[in-house]
Amino acid sequence: MKAGRKPQALTEKEKILMQMLWENGPMFVREMLEIYPEPKPHFNTISTVMRILEEKGHVAHEVFGPTYRYYAVARKEFFMKKSLAQLVKDYFNNSYKNAVSALVEEEKISVDELREIIDLVESKNTPPSTPNS
């Protein structure tokens, strides 16, 4: 991402292409087109989206003769955190408790998984022990 620039949300096509780069590493447009889900866009559409992602500072490229091989500059973790925060804000009244409650209601999370989350929270909130002097 370019310095001093506010991060912009990704479009659906941008998300698909970024995911490809995160999962597969550097790729040529023709390789992206091969694994792009149906309906596949035109080659030029992918090229245009990649240039937009590069302008946004999310990808960069290496030159190989007349073609470019693109690679992710932006980290997936950045978008995961940003997306989760936006989801919780937009759909759960900015409450992570409401988000987890919805997962419980829909039976998308198990009791064992909830216990693991509780253990994780408790371990992060426990101050480190100090040696007795």
Residue ranges and CATH numbers for the domains of the chain are 12-72 (1.10.10.10), 76-125 (no CATH)
β strands within 3-42, DSSP E: 27-28
16, 37 Cβ separation under 8 angstroms = yes
Distance CA 13, CA 19 (A): 10
Tell me if the pTM is above 0.85: no
70, 54 Cβ separation under 8 angstroms = yes
Distance CA 73, CA 129 (A): 39
Collapsing DSSP to helix, strand or coil, 64 comes out as strand
Mean pLDDT per block of 10 residues along the chain (133 residues) reads 58 94 97 96 97 96 96 90 84 89 88 89 77 58
Taking alpha carbons only, the member of 94, 133, 97, 131 closest to residue 117 is 97
Report pLDDT for 1.
46
